[in-house]
Amino acid sequence: MVSGNGSATVVKQAHVAAESVFPPVFESRFSAGRGLRLIREDGAEFLDGVSGTFNVPLGYDHPKVVEAVIGQLRKCAHMSSSYSAPYARSVLAKLLRAAPANLDAGWMRDLTGSTANECAIKIAQKSTGKRDVLSLHHSHHGQTIFTTSISGQSMRGAAFPMVNASSVKVPAPYCYRCPYDSVYPDCGLLCAERIYDAIQHGSSGSVACMIVEPVLGNGGNIVPPPGYFSAVAQIAQDTGMLLIADEVQTGIGRTGQLFACDTFGVKANIVTLAKGLGGIGIPTAAVLMEQRLDVLEQYEHSFTSGGNMLALAAAEATLDVIQESGFLQQVRDRGRFLERHLRPLAENYSCVGDVRGLGMMWGVEIVGPGKRPDTDKTNRIIRCAEVSQRLLLRGSKYGFGNVIKVRPALVATEDDLVEIVDRLARAIQEVEACG
């Protein structure tokens, strides 16, 4: 077995190998973004297949959001939260009207998903009086020390003496690589049932909450099987812990519904949002909760730029666009269209082990003999797509994983989607030809 540091060395070598075959192109700066395309200073256009870092769901220059941000910038970019509070409440009200029915309170004093998730856990700990946080293997909940320590990817915290986050991690519902070597639906959803064991034998006996991503994005675009969230909700009810849905990546239309909780039928006590809420990449975040959980004082979670006027303007305009008649139906339709074009990759290329996802959130798992994860080939395909095909993609686990993420902007046309898949296929073919 390779140690954590050994794994990091292997992945670094994979990156070096990829760069030796496909030199990096990002030394030349991009000067503009138009729709799904980034334009380099020399005029070369690159097709973005992943919506920036999944935070530009409306493309780089959606006119309604651009106009809203510029208009607010001309008025006032920032004011103390004491005075911006009425504007934050207005945006929250719009979010809550569209949110699952049990969510009727909110908090909008964050800019990032990391601190929004910390806010959610503070709420859970204060309201329950308990301490432990359950999370999933392969999960990603942020980049702060605390959210890194509750995430289920050890390589991200290997270099840091972590604080004790009272974190208990349980196996993810990863059907392609079932941790129990079972096959759905005959598995009895062991990935959920064993949570009882983790609480009984692995926790301090004081569990405040479980935080889950409806789709585990950075961990490999892992989509839980039917029935998983119903089982988790029952466990939460049985044990008295709260359920937090981390919708930083899945929220704001990514799965074809405004909230992935609605897509999967998840009744979470708290939902966190960020990334897509800013529409064109403007940083903003929100925490939605049941009214009974609105327990924090302002001084217990507040940031200077959290809920600033530009962020609020972007969020409000983004919600207006996403809620336009037919918009989300089009996302669902285009998601199925994308699926029809991605699925054949697993039939046409031996290195594609699995294609999974929904809406505009897909993962292509790259494997070697015996279905073993092939991180080296994954990184080479991503680099080849960038250099040879001018297609921008991202890999799971910050390049430590073996899943290629395909997450176009929600405004992608069918022609855009065909072009993304065609360029990806050519990159796979080119890398396979190199061995």
Per-residue pLDDT tens over the stretch 394-415: 999 999 999 999 999 999 999 9
The type of residue at 382 is: I
For the chain, the farthest-separated pair of C-alpha atoms sits apart, in whole angstroms, at 61
**3-state secondary structure at position 361:** strand
**What are the extents of the domains in the chain?**
4-61+326-434, 63-322
Note the pLDDT of residue 228.
Answer: 97
Q: What is the pLDDT of residues 363-376, one digit of tens each?
A: 999 999 999 999 99
CB 339 within 8 A of CB 107: no
Q: Across residues 96-119, what is the average pLDDT?
A: 96
DSSP per-residue letters across 283-352? --EEEEE-GGG----GGGS--TTTT-HHHHHHHHHHHHHHTSTTHHHHHHHHHHHHHHHHTHHHHH-TTE
Beta bridge partners of 395: 404
For domain 4-61+326-434, give the fold.
Answer: Aspartate Aminotransferase, domain 1 (3.90.1150)
**For all residues of the chain together, what is the average pLDDT?**
92
172-191 pLDDT, tens digit per residue, is 999 999 999 999 999 999 99
Contact 150, 211 (CB under 8 A): yes
> Under a CB-based contact definition with an 8 Å cutoff, are residues 294 and 105 in contact?
yes
| CATH topology assigned to domain 63-322 | Aspartate Aminotransferase; domain 2 (3.40.640)
C-alpha 425/C-alpha 305 separation (Å) is 42
Question: How big is the CA angle at 34 (ends 323 and 250), to the nearest 5 degrees?
Answer: 40
Mean pLDDT on 86-98? 96
Q: What is the pLDDT of residues 322-361, one digit of tens each?
A: 999 999 999 999 999 999 999 999 999 999 999 999 999 9
Task: Decide: pTM greater than 0.75.
Answer: yes
pLDDT at 226 over 60: yes
Query: Does the pLDDT at position 13 exceed 70?
Result: no
pLDDT at site 405: 98
Q: Measured on CA atoms in the order 27, 32, 33, 38, is the torsion positive or negative?
A: negative
Asked if the model's pLDDT at residue 153 lies above 90, the reply is no
- Report whether pLDDT(166) > 90: no
Q: Among 1-5, 6-10, 17-21, 276-280, which range has the highest average pLDDT?
A: 276-280
- Looking at per-residue confidence, does 277 or 20 come out higher? 277
DSSP type of residue 222: B
- Whether 139 shows a pLDDT value over 70: the answer reads yes
What pLDDT does residue 157 have? Answer: 77
Res 4 pLDDT > 50: no
Report how far residue 348's alpha carbon sits from residue 257's, in angstroms, rounded to the nearest whole number.
Answer: 31
pLDDT for 10 beyond 50: no
For residue 16, pLDDT over 60 is answered with no
Q: Is the pLDDT of residue 18 over 80?
A: no
Query: Over 90: is that where the pLDDT of 5 sits?
Result: no
